Amino acid sequence: MKNPFKLKVATIAFFLPLSSLLSARAATVTVQVGAGGRMFTPQNVTIQAGDTVQWRWATNGHSTTSGTPGHPDGMWDSGVQRRRFVFNQTFPTAGTFNYFCTPHGACCGMIGAVTVQGAPPATGAMFINGNGTVNEAWMYNRGADGQLSLVGSYATQGTGAKFKLSSQNSIMLSNDRNYLYVANANSNDVTAFKVQSTGLTFLNKVPSGGTFPNSIAVLGNLVYVLNSKGTVANVTGFNIQADGSLAPLPNSTRLLSSARPESGQVGFTPDGKFVLVTEKDTDNIDTYAVQADGLLTGPTPQHAAGNGPFGFAFDGNGYLVDSEILGSSASSYTVTNGVLQVVTAKLKDFGKAACWAACTSGTTIPQQYAYISNTNSDSISGYAVAANGTLSLLTPDGRTFQLPQGAFPLELVISNDNQYLSVLEGNLPGVAVFQIQSNGSLVQIQALTGIPASSSGMIGY
């Protein structure tokens, strides 16, 4: 005998491309069918574009059919169904959509309406290096509520590594946010895109100047790319042209402190006078002076305070905070004329494998914070950065937020207004979005899925 209470579900999405199904902003609103009589409850609902309405049958013999009684418009029709049936309809475009119950619309006024509002304007954006065999850059807009919604994915015309890059900033924005640069690790090149709110436009692709590019630094019209493998690792420079495309900077290739260290990141100091490169296995942070023509002198290797310097970021007061993978710790420094002076040395966060780092920015916020992803313990550690650069853990156990088991957190990005932290979760795969509280604690507001499993590298504002 069949179970009379077996749940039945029908789902329809009209005029909806696959990319829209991955919208991070989508919500579901429930309407009861026949609860309390021949009516829809609530009768009228208002949702955002990309949201779904779910009708749930409380009694037998009803339908949800688009249009008005006697005049269905063919957009959707559940058919007449029995109790416990469930029907989903996704609405990708703004407008008002009327519907009715076929048996009871005309006779009994069993009608309803769905009002769909357009998505709120974007206040920021997020970009992910898909790092796949056919590499793509994934773009998301950020709404005023901090939530991300997919814009699309765009071919870099290069080849990613397919495995995690173990580096920070394999994808970077220009300072004016008009252009995006993506490292294609396996094809040894870098792709330039023009950025618009509606998507990315391919500009050009240039050889990276070495083997396995895995980190990019941008300041003004100057770009340096970290090439981490091959016979000899190096950093190589490029100029951003008037249209945002990249052109090689002649004679710009510089070696690291050893032939092929396990390098983690290349980045500029806030004043643009120096370039830094972390070396995980040598415990060095290499510094290079930037000359007026954009060429570098160096490296000058400086020993990091902790073992395995990996990712780094500068806070709004100009202090350098780096993660240290081997001791799962963080250190802070002043950088004066290219010289690193330790402020806080290897403050342990009690996690496993402190890898990626992000800091709040700007001088108007009352308290600066730094966040580090502990990749092997699926946790995020937060630090308060004092006005003198001293670090202190936000929680005694170092866990500002514990992610799901196996999340494997990678890159961290803080929005330009310092309100939101996004975490790339390598093994889910997905992005967790948090609202940063005034005390530095994190409240999760979104769990984004649908990104490639090979994703490695994220940047945004």
**pLDDT tens for each residue of 218-239:** 999 999 999 999 999 999 999 9
Strands (E), 244-283: 246-248, 254-255, 263-268, 274-279
Q: Quick check: 156 pLDDT over 70?
A: yes
Q: Dump pLDDT digits (tens) for 312-346.
A: 999 999 999 999 999 999 999 999 999 999 999 99
Band (pLDDT 50/70/90 cuts) for residue 118 is confident
Q: Give residue 346's region: left, alpha or beta (phi > 0; psi -120 to 50).
A: left
Q: What is the model's pLDDT at position 26?
A: 62
Average pLDDT in the chain: 93
Q: Dump pLDDT digits (tens) for 353-409.
A: 999 999 999 988 999 999 999 999 999 999 999 999 999 999 999 999 999 999 999
Q: Quick check: 16 pLDDT over 80?
A: no
Distance (Å, whole) CA 228 – CA 286: 14
Q: Dump pLDDT digits (tens) for 98-112.
A: 999 999 999 999 999
Distance (Å, whole) CA 366 – CA 386: 10
Q: What is the model's pLDDT at position 48?
A: 85
- Between these two residues, 18 and 291, which has the higher pLDDT value? 291
Q: What is the model's pLDDT at position 68?
A: 97
Q: Quick check: 20 pLDDT over 80?
A: no
8 Å CB contact between 126 and 439:
no
DSSP 216: E
Structure tokens at 93: 């475009």
Q: What is the model's pLDDT at position 122?
A: 83
Between strands 40-41 and 52-57, the pairing is: unpaired
Structure tokens at 250: 């002649």
Percentage of the chain modeled with pLDDT above 70? 94
Mean pLDDT, rounded, for 300-304? 98
8 Å CB contact between 119 and 419:
no
Q: Dump pLDDT digits (tens) for 181-216.
A: 999 999 999 999 999 989 999 999 999 999 999 999
Distance (Å, whole) CA 450 – CA 295: 40
Q: Dump pLDDT digits (tens) for 407-446.
A: 999 999 999 999 999 999 999 899 999 999 999 999 999 9
- Between these two residues, 3 and 248, which has the higher pLDDT value? 248
Q: What is the model's pLDDT at position 119?
A: 64
Go through the domains of the chain in sequence order and give each one's CATH number. Answer: 8-117 (2.60.40.420), 122-460 (2.130.10.10)
* Cβ neighbour number for residue 93 with a 10 Å cutoff: 13
Residues 6+ apart with CB under 8 A from 1: none
Distance (Å, whole) CA 115 – CA 277: 53
Q: Is the peptide bond before 261 cis (omega within 30 degrees of 0)?
A: no
Length of the chain: 461
8 Å CB contact between 183 and 214:
yes
Q: What is the model's pLDDT at position 23?
A: 38
Q: Give the DSSP per-residue string, 64-97.
A: -EEEETTEEEEEEE--SB-TTEEEEEE--S-EEE
